[in-house]
Amino acid sequence: MAAQRITMRKIRDILRLRFAADLSIRQIKKSTRVSIGAIQKLLIKANELGLSWPLPDELDDNQLAQLFYPTADTRSSTRFQIPDWSVVHQELKRKGMTKQLLWEEYTQQYPNRCYSYPQFCDRYRHWNGQQKRSMRQIHKAGEKCFVDYCGPTIPIINASTGEIRDAQVFVGVLGASNYTYAEATLTQSLPDWLGSHVRMFEFFGGCSEMVIPDNLRSGVSKACRYDPDLNASYQQLAEHYQVAVVPARPYKPKERKACPWGASPRQR
């Protein structure tokens, strides 16, 4: 992806905070919500252009845009350029793609007519909500805990041998609060699966009424729409902690909580 292009207002803010307020790049990032890499490239370009603060009075937004982005659509308008939300929606399905990256690509094309990042997210959320009706699930505090292994693995290097193994990431999320526990284990085998549950309950300081796993083989011996068979050891763990294990029905992903697997969970 090409370098992020920034709105003219943000460019002026970055130059002012750097040259007049003498803030660090990280401080500027917190203030403007522009990525560190984009700020660094902008400041390098500003030095090449011999710019400082305050900017010359005759340097309007169009001229400033032409200096930083000579090939971009720098026309000014009171009307924003509306992104193609269907394309945004499809791009977000790609692994590793985020709304932040898509917003940066969008600002590259229309630096003077683009939404801010919060506006971009809000309008996409509004568009997405109109595309498909769905029943909103409401969870009571302490009622449900959703557990599964997230997709990406973590490479672990043996310091003695240099061997690299891919560790699995177990994630548990409380339905009402989204309070999250995550840990890495070497496998998704039954001992690791049960051990992760024990450590999760210790981390939460208690047990939910129900645990909702996906139909992982370690926990569910036979997936069934109405009467799944639990692994015997998993059933014994549930009895010991006095929780009900209710696996999500196969091919019914909406019965699993929309868990923030991609967020930064609280690590044990």
pLDDT (tens digit per residue) in 113-127: 788 888 899 999 988
Confidence band for 48, pLDDT divided at 50, 70 and 90:
confident
- Pairing of β 164-174 and β 144-149: antiparallel
- Distance, in Å, from the CA atom of 41 to the CA atom of 90, rounded to the nearest integer, reads 29
Q: Is the pLDDT of residue 3 over 50?
A: no
What average pLDDT does this structure show over 191-207?
94
What average pLDDT does this structure show over 36-62?
83
- 49-73 CB burial, b ≥16 within 10 A, e <16: eebeeebeeeeebeebbebbbeebe
Cα 200 to the center of its chain, rounded Å:
22
Q: Which residues contact 62 (CB under 8 A, 6 or more apart)?
A: 74, 75, 76, 112
- Distance, in Å, from the CA atom of 114 to the CA atom of 102, rounded to the nearest integer, reads 12
Dihedral sign for Cα atoms in the order 233, 237, 242, 245: negative
Mean pLDDT of the residues in the chain = 78
Q: Which residues contact 100 (CB under 8 A, 6 or more apart)?
A: 35, 117
Q: Is the pLDDT of residue 21 over 90?
A: no
Q: Is the pLDDT of residue 14 over 90?
A: no
- Distance, in Å, from the CA atom of 100 to the CA atom of 93, rounded to the nearest integer, reads 14
For the chain, domains (ranges, CATH) are 8-131 (no CATH), 144-255 (3.30.420.10)
Report the half-sphere exposure of 119 (CA within 13 A, side-chain side). 10
pLDDT digits (tens, 9 = 90+) for 79-100: 778 888 988 988 888 877 888 8
What average pLDDT does this structure show over 248-267?
46
- The full DSSP string for the chain is -PPPP--HHHHHHHHIIIIIS---HHHHHHHH---HHHHHHHHHHHHHHT--SSPPTT--HHHHHHHH-TTS-----SSPPPP-HHHHHHHTTSTT--HHHHHHHHHHH-TTS---HHHHHHHHHHHHHHH---PPP---TTTEEEEEE-S--EEEE-TTT--EEEEEEEEEEETTT--EEEEEES--SHHHHHHHHHHHHHHHTS--SEEEE---TTTEEE--SS-PEEPHHHHHHHHHHT-EE-PPPTT-GGGS----TTS-PPB-
